[in-house]
Amino acid sequence: MSRVVIVGCGYVGLELGRRLREAGHDVTGVRRSDEGLDAVAAAGLDAQRADATDPGTLSALPDADWVVFAASSGGRGADAARRVYVEGLRNVIEAYGGRSSPPDRLVYTSSTGVYGDHDGDFVDEETPVDPATEKTRVLAEAERVAREEAAAVGIDGTVARFAGLYGPDRYRLDRYLEGPVTGGYLNMVHRDDAAGAVAFLLEADHARDDVVLVVDDEPVDKWAFADWLADECGVPSPPKRTIEERLSDPDLSAAARRRIETSKRCSNDRLRSLGYEFAYPTYREGYRAAIDAYRSGADAASL
Percent helix, strand, coil in the chain, to 5, is 45, 20, 35
Rounded average pLDDT over 121-127: 97
CATH number of the structural domain 3-167+187-214: 3.40.50.720
- Kindly list the domain boundaries of the chain, sorted by start residue: 3-167+187-214
pLDDT by residue (tens digit) across 193-219? 999 999 999 999 999 999 999 999 999
pLDDT by residue (tens digit) across 25-41? 999 999 999 999 999 99
Q: Distances from the Cα of 219 to the Cαs of 104, 212, 215, 227, in angstroms?
A: 34, 16, 8, 15
Q: What is the pLDDT of residue 261?
A: 82
Q: What is the pLDDT of residue 77?
A: 83
Return the SS3 of 32: coil
The interaxial angle of helices 191-203 and 11-22, nearest 10 deg, is 50
Rounded Cα distance between 97 and 284, Å, is: 43
pTM of the model: 0.96
Pick from 42, 43, 44, 50: nearest CA to 67? 50
Rounded Cα distance between 89 and 212, Å, is: 19
pLDDT by residue (tens digit) across 34-90? 999 999 999 999 999 999 999 999 999 999 999 999 998 776 788 999 999 999 999
Q: What is the pLDDT of residue 4?
A: 98
Q: What is the pLDDT of residue 63?
A: 97
Is the Cα torsion angle 287, 291, 292, 296 positive or negative in sign? positive
Amino acid code (one letter) for 203? E
Q: What is the pLDDT of residue 169?
A: 95
